[in-house]
């Protein structure tokens, strides 16, 4: 009898417990479907919500003191619906961050203090101030294009915002990368999600926002290691096991085609990485922060990328060809008249009454910005169609990057460097000519000397200097004059010992004797190559010359570079002279 009574009490207690925790921990499929439907409705082109963020004096002081720390607010929608105890903090990157008393952007978390609560189906969302986009439309356009390309990305709409009664204008409302987003976007939402951070590559200790698989960063470390593997075949095979290569090619193509200069491939910025359990834990890159896309109608889509994973993938000629194919496949998404302008115009008309209510100056600024975006979309489509059929860049930095990988792997010195080995690829790509020829030893020596010279650069309060350069360099001024973006001082005070007679050739001698570039004080560009007789091809690209970039290419049969036989001289990508043999060639800077 007693045991029966105890059992009934136990069951009753279980029912009470389940009822208490059900909203937070026992969300049903029906709940998810209802939330998803509410979120989908929010992101349709419906009424623009009016949102007020109300802060207590203590909460306001907290945001002034530490904008990135969570505090609480009351969120009021359309003057009627009120949400208390909403977690809030100020967000924004370099260029967009504003303090509380200006026009800040916010991240709001609905269920941090009230488990299970949502705002139109959203747990966490952002109110972006869009201070770098007066049209307030670029983020929405980018989101639509990326999702149409098959890459999951947060949806975008707009809201009119007040802070404690102060009108701060029209904002971009964007869903967050959170558990709800992962559940809606992937078959399995339990993988690790990493925040790309500010100007951080995958080896910079990215923060794990979601997931608890393994130690934070271990999966990124594995991807980093394989991207730096020396052997080409091993590297590509290992990358395929840890990266969804096909998805990454789409990601890279969309970044380039939208002109997302502030994204991962070009700036190592504004991205997320999801380690997808449904794809054996392979990495999926997701774009973020697209408020500055479509800024340059002619932005290049074939430029070798700077980020680690993008470099490793696009070094592979097969994957690079697939990238070109993907660009062509995605072109319809950039059809201005058929796709983008209708979306732009419909959204602008939806927002216009809101902006009009804000006053004549905001309306004029908004209208001008919308027209600017319209023109850019039309021009961008034309540029993309032209670039999609353009030839490959003459020199791809594959050999430079391979040389740096090998040199870094063999390095044993541990002294602190102004430009550490981890940054050597960036330094060489940005500062020295790119060279390739049939002699791998000479090519490797060319890059080894630049790699070594970089190790002796010291940044000081008065500029960059070179210290303790090995005697093999001879007169360093002759080498350093070919650096593009790094200015070095004090070179004339350095000793200039002669290199050994049987020592390696200097970079300067390779440029001026083998490649045959002759220096002139005026706009003349003279080239008279003297390579070994058995060289059927060579190229040197991005040679600094009077503030311009020269490219010199020799292709005996025209088969190696696929752009016709002969010797070619280009200035900033524009051909200025050509010859059918290795003879003296003279042109002028355009």
Tell me the pLDDT band of 494, cut-offs 50, 70 and 90.
Answer: low
**Is 227:309 a contact under the CB 8 Å cutoff?**
yes
Q: What is the pLDDT of residues 33-80, one digit of tens each?
A: 999 999 999 999 889 999 999 999 999 999 999 999 999 999 999 999
Higher pLDDT, 478 or 317: 317
pLDDT per position as a tens digit, 106-126: 999 999 999 999 999 999 999
Q: Which residue, of 180, 202, 222, is where some domain finishes?
A: 180
- Residue 473 counted as domain residue: yes
| Domain end point (choices 133, 160, 180) | 180
Give the pLDDT confidence score for residue 93 in this predicted structure.
Answer: 78
pLDDT of residue 197: 84
**Total structural domains within the chain:** 4
Phi, psi torsion values for 582, nearest 5 degrees = -80, 80
Asked if residue 520 and residue 497 are part of one domain, the reply reads no
Q: Are residues 49 and 129 in the same domain?
A: yes
Let me know if residue 478 belongs to a domain.
yes
In angstroms, how far apart are the furthest CA atoms of the chain?
110
Clarify whether residues 174 and 79 are in a common domain: yes
- Distance (Å, whole) CA 173 – CA 203: 31
Say whether both 486 and 555 belong to one domain: no
- pLDDT, one tens digit per residue, over 201-242 is 999 999 999 999 999 999 999 999 999 999 999 999 999 999
Q: How confident is the model at residue 2 (pLDDT cuts 50, 70, 90)?
A: very low
Per-residue pLDDT, 500: 41
Mean pLDDT of 437-463: 92
Percent of the chain with pLDDT over 70: 92
C-alpha pair distances (Å), 401 with each of 177, 262, 304: 33, 22, 11
Q: Which position has the higher pLDDT, 198 or 554?
A: 554
Identify the domain containing residue 443 by its residue range. 392-502
Q: Are strands 156-163 and 166-175 parallel, antiparallel or unpaired?
A: antiparallel
For residues 239 and 246, give the distance between their C-alpha atoms in angstroms, rounded to a whole number: 12
Do 120 and 163 sit in the same domain of this protein?
Answer: yes
Distance CA 254, CA 252 (A): 6
**211, two tokens:** 């997931």
Is residue 588 assigned to a domain?
yes
Whether residues 424 and 497 share a domain: the answer is: yes
Lowest mean pLDDT among 87-101, 116-130, 532-546, 569-583: 87-101
Residues 166 and 69 in one domain: yes
pLDDT, residue 479, reads: 85
Average pLDDT over residues 377-385: 98
Q: What is the CATH number of the domain that holds 534?
A: 2.60.420
126: which DSSP letter? E
Q: Is residue 295 part of a domain?
A: no
Q: Determine the Cα–Cα distance for residues 214 and 138; give it in Å rounded to an integer.
A: 37
| Domain annotation covers residue 356 | no
Query: What confidence category does residue 16 fall into, taking pLDDT thresholds of 50, 70 and 90?
Result: very low
Say which residues have a Cβ less than 8 Å from residue 531's Cβ, sequence separation at least 6: 437, 514, 515, 538, 554, 582
User: At which residue do the structure tokens 């080409």 appear?
Assistant: 232
Q: What is the pLDDT of residue 502?
A: 43
Question: 9 pLDDT exceeds 80?
Answer: no
* CB 587, CB 569: distance < 8 Å: yes
Calculate mean pLDDT across residues 267-285: 97
Whether 14 has a pLDDT exceeding 50, the answer reads no
Predicted pLDDT at 20: 40
| Contact (Cβ atoms closer than 8 angstroms) between residue 68 and residue 84 | no
- Nearest CA among 130, 117, 194 for reference residue 156: 130
pLDDT tens string 528-541: 999 999 999 999 99
Rounded to an integer, the average pLDDT of 358-381 is: 97
Average pLDDT over residues 568-588: 94
Query: Is the predicted pLDDT of residue 491 greater than 80, yes or no?
Result: no
So what's the pLDDT on residue 474?
67
In 3-state terms, what secondary structure has residue 289? coil
pLDDT of residue 171: 97
Domain end marker among 153, 180, 207: 180
Does residue 150 carry a pLDDT above 90?
A: yes
Task: Mark whether 412 and 544 lie in a shared domain.
Answer: no
On whether both 155 and 103 belong to a single domain, the answer is: yes
pLDDT at 10: 44
What is the pLDDT averaged over residues 319-330?
97
Q: In this structure, is residue 199 part of a structural domain?
A: no
Residue 263 lies in a domain: no
Clarify whether residues 89 and 148 are in a common domain.
Answer: yes
Structure tokens at 204: 């910079």
Whether residue 95 has pLDDT greater than 80: no
For position 505, what pLDDT does the model report? 82
Q: What is the mean pLDDT of the chain?
A: 91
Are 25 and 42 found together in one domain?
no
Mean per-residue pLDDT, 181-195: 97
Q: Is residue 14 part of a domain?
A: yes
Q: Which two tokens stand for residue 315?
A: 């070094």
Query: What percent of the chain stands above pLDDT 90?
Result: 83
Q: Are residues 497 and 521 in the same domain?
A: no
């Amino acid at each position: 009898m007693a045991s029966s009574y105890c059992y009934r009490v136990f069951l009753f207690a279980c029912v009470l417990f389940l009822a208490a925790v059900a909203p937070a921990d026992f969300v049903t499929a029906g709940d998810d479907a209802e939330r998803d439907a509410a979120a989908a409705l929010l992101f349709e082109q419906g009424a623009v919500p009016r949102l007020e963020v109300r802060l207590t004096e203590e909460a306001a002081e907290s945001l002034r003191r530490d904008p990135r720390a969570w505090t609480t607010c009351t969120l009021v929608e359309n003057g009627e619906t009120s949400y208390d105890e909403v977690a809030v903090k100020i967000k924004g990157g370099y260029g967009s961050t504003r303090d509380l008393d200006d026009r800040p952007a916010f991240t709001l978390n609905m269920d941090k203090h009230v488990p299970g609560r949502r705002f139109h189906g959203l747990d966490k969302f952002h109110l972006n101030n869009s201070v770098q986009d007066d049209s307030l439309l670029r983020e929405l356009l980018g989101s639509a294009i990326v999702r149409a390309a098959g890459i999951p990305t947060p949806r975008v709409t707009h809201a009119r915002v007040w802070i404690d009664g102060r009108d701060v204008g029209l904002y971009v409302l964007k869903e967050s990368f959170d558990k709800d987003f992962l559940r809606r976007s992937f078959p399995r939402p339990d993988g690790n999600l990493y925040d790309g951070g500010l100007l951080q590559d995958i080896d910079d200790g990215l923060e794990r926002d979601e997931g608890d698989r393994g130690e934070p960063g271990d999966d990124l470390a594995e991807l980093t290691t394989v991207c730096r593997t020396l052997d080409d075949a091993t590297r590509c095979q290992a990358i395929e096991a840890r990266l969804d290569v096909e998805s990454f090619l789409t990601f890279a193509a969309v970044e380039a085609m939208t002109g997302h200069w502030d994204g991962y491939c070009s700036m190592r910025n504004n991205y997320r990485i999801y380690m997808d359990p449904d794809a054996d834990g392979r990495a999926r890159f997701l774009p973020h922060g697209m408020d500055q896309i479509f800024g340059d109608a002619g932005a290049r889509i074939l430029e070798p990328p700077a980020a680690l994973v993008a470099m490793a993938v696009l070094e592979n000629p097969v994957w690079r060809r697939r990238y070109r194919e993907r660009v062509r496949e995605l072109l319809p998404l950039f059809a201005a008249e058929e796709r983008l302008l209708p979306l732009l115009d419909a959204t602008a008309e939806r927002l216009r009454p809101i902006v009009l209510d804000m006053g004549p100056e905001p309306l004029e600024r908004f209208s001008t910005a919308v027209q600017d975006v319209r023109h850019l979309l039309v021009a961008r489509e034309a540029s993309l169609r032209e670039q999609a059929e353009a030839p490959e860049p003459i020199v791809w930095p594959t050999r430079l990057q391979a040389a740096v990988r090998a040199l870094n792997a063999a390095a044993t010195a541990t002294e602190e460097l102004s430009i550490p080995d981890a940054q050597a690829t960036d330094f060489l790509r940005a500062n020295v000519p790119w060279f390739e020829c049939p002699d791998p030893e000479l090519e490797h020596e060319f890059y080894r000397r630049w790699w070594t010279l970089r190790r002796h650069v010291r940044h000081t309060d008065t500029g960059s200097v070179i210290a303790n350069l090995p005697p093999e360099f001879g007169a360093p001024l002759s080498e350093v004059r070919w650096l593009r973006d790094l200015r070095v001082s004090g070179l004339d005070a350095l000793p200039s010992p002669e290199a050994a007679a049987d020592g390696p050739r200097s970079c300067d001698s390779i440029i001026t004797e083998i490649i045959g570039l002759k220096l002139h004080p005026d706009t003349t560009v003279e080239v008279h190559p003297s390579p070994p007789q058995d060289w059927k091809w060579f190229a040197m690209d991005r040679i600094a010359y009077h503030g311009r970039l020269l490219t010199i290419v020799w292709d005996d049969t025209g088969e190696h570079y696929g752009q016709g036989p002969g010797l070619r001289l280009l200035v900033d990508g524009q051909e200025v002279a050509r010859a059918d043999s290795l003879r003296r060639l003279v042109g002028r800077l355009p």
